[in-house]
Each structure stands twice: as structure tokens, then as C-alpha cells.
Amino acid sequence: MDKTINITLKVWRQKGPKEKGHFETYNLQNISTNMSFLEMLDTLNEQLVAKHEEPVVFDHDCREGICGMCSLYINGHPHGRDSHTTTCQLHMRRFKDGETITIEPWRSAGFPVVRDLMVDRSAYDKIMQAGGYTSIRCGAAQDANALPIPKPDADEAMDAASCIGCGACAAACKNGSAMLFVSAKVSQLALLPQGRVEAARRAKAMVAKMDELGFGNCTNTGACEAECPKGVSIANIARLNREYLKAKLKD
């Protein structure tokens, strides 16, 4: 049976990067609890379009928790309250009938608002371009036994690699720090022999870019880890610190 709820939305509306924004209140009736959160916003936008009003702009793409496009600060949490869940994986059954839901964009100097709920996250792309890759030619895939990797290392590398670059970490951080993201991207490679070759250069280049773009200094509050939809651990931040300090000391 399809259960439905009535909800009130308080949505941040902002015409452009330089414009002053404000909250707009919308009432939605008969929202199916089987809907995803983004389908609920689609429903809102259909109603707005039907009334010849501007639809709410928000980011989304895969809608299955792998691309990192969706964002939204929902009732005080990036990607909503549920842990290990992206906004696109959030469902309306998690909300009560009559509930007021406040939806805000990421608010951090590193992620300026483009319009409504959409922010510019290209800063993360720039950090990746600074060194978040391997450039060695490793040829065709070799026999797995030729390059044994301890299982714990492989597991930790995979966990770090689950970062989807959504930006919730910096959005949740009182210091506007991007350290969880950068540490995940450094760790996924630093833990594997293929990535070790350029490890020192990578750590230095990515941290330099992160600083240059004005992200804050991590004080280990752990809000990022708590809000990360992929549960990336701050143990990666310790590894990044280690990799970076080692690389700098060697210079």
C-alpha cells in the first residue's frame, strides 16, 4: 500500500552567485513515502512549472549514490540525517507526516552558490587535477600474483576509493576544510604499490592546491567523517599528514 504524507518545505532560493538569497516555503500534499527525496523535489518542480514559476535548481545525476553530484543540506545534515546515504538514496519514508524540511545548499567559501541549491564544486576537480592520479605506464594488467598486496591494505585502499567527491565533508566542517576528501584521494593510491611511485609528489601537489584554493586547516573535529555518505574514515587524514610531512622533510 502506498502511504502518503503532507510536508512543508523551506527551500533556499538564490537567483545567482552575487544575488541575496532567501528561504521560500512550499506545501506539498500527498507525497508517496516510496518516493526518493529527489523525486519529491521533481514533484515540487513540476508543480512550480505548472504555475509558471521558476523551478528549484539542484544538482543530481546518477541517482544511485555513485557519482557524487547530489548535495543538499537537509534539516542540518549534508545528504540528510541517515548515515552512509547520499541525498539521492534518501527516501520520503524517513520523514513524518506534517514535518517541515529545511533544504539549504552547501555553505562554505570553497563552494560558492551558483543558483538556489546548486554550488560550484570545481575546486575539488582542481585538487584532483593537481595530482590525484597515477601517470606511470603500467602496461596491460599483470598476473595478480606478481604484485601481492596485503588484504588490509587493499581493503583500506578500496574504502578510501569509495569517496565520490560530493563535498559534504567541507560543507559540514566548521573550518571549511577539504582534508577528508584530499586524504581519501591520496590514500587510495598511497596504499598501493602502483601509487607509491608518485606518492610524495602527489601529497605535496594536492595539499598545495587545497591551500591555494583557500580551504581551511583541519582541527580533527570529525564532523566530515560523521556526515560522509561513504563513511570515509579520518584515519586517512592521519595518513595524509604523514605522507605530506614525510615528503616535505625529504626535500
Partner 1 sequence: MSSIFQSSIGKKLIMSVSGIFLVLFLLFHMCMNLVAVFSASAYNAVCAFLGTNWYALAGTAVLAFGFLFHIVYAFILTVQNRKARGNDRYAVVDKPANVEWASQNMLVLGAIILIGLGLHLANFWYHMMFAELVEAEGQYGPTEGAQWLSYYLSKWPVAIAYIVWIVALWFHLSHGFWSMLQTIGWNNLVWLDRWKTAAKWYATIVCLGFAIVVLGFAFEVFPLLDNCCSEAAAECATKCADACSCK
Which one of the spans 39-47, 62-70, 101-109, 189-197 is the region binding ligand FES (CB under 6 A)? 62-70
158 binds partner 1 (CB under 8 A): no
Would you give the DSSP letter of residue 243? H
- Cell triple for residue 172? 559540514
Q: Which parts of 159-198 interact with ligand SF4 (CB under 6 A)?
A: 163-169, 180-181, 184
Q: Which of 80, 170, 55 is nearest to 122 (CA)?
A: 170
73 binds ligand SF4 (CB under 6 A): no
113 binds ligand SF4 (CB under 6 A): no
The rounded distance, in Å, linking the Cα atoms of 128 and 143 is 29
Q: Which of 2, 4, 3, 54 is nearest to 26 (CA)?
A: 54
207 binds partner 1 (CB under 8 A): yes
The rounded distance, in Å, linking the Cα atoms of 82 and 94 is 9
- Output the DSSP codes for 160-190: HHT-----HHHHH-TT---HHHHHHHHHHHH
**Number of C-beta neighbours around residue 138 at 10 A:** 10
The amino acid sitting at 118 is: M
Would you give the DSSP letter of residue 91? B
216 binds ligand SF4 (CB under 6 A): no
- Relative to beta strand 118-119, strand 4-13 is unpaired
70 binds ligand FES (CB under 6 A): yes
Q: Binding mask 212-251 vs ligand HEM (x if CB under 6 A, - otherwise)?
A: -------xx-------------------------------
Q: Which is nearer to ligand FES, 185 or 209 (CB)?
A: 185
- Find the shortest distance in angstroms from Cβ 240 to ligand HEM: 14
How many residues contact ligand SF4, by CB under 6 A?
Answer: 14
- 106 contacts: CB under 8 Å, gap ≥ 6: 71, 73, 78, 119, 121, 167, 168, 170, 171
Would you give the DSSP letter of residue 54? P
Which one of the spans 61-69, 96-104, 179-187, 215-223 is the region binding ligand FES (CB under 6 A)? 61-69
How many residues contact ligand HEM, by CB under 6 A?
Answer: 2
Q: Which spans of this chain sit near ligand HEM (rule: CB under 6 A)?
A: 219-220
Q: Which spans of this chain sit near ligand SF4 (rule: CB under 6 A)?
A: 163-169, 180-181, 184, 228-230, 232
Q: Which spans of this chain sit near partner 1 (rule: CB under 8 A)?
A: 10, 23, 73, 75-77, 81, 102, 104, 107-110, 113, 156, 172-177, 204, 207-208, 210-211, 214-223, 226-227, 233-235, 237-246, 248-249, 251
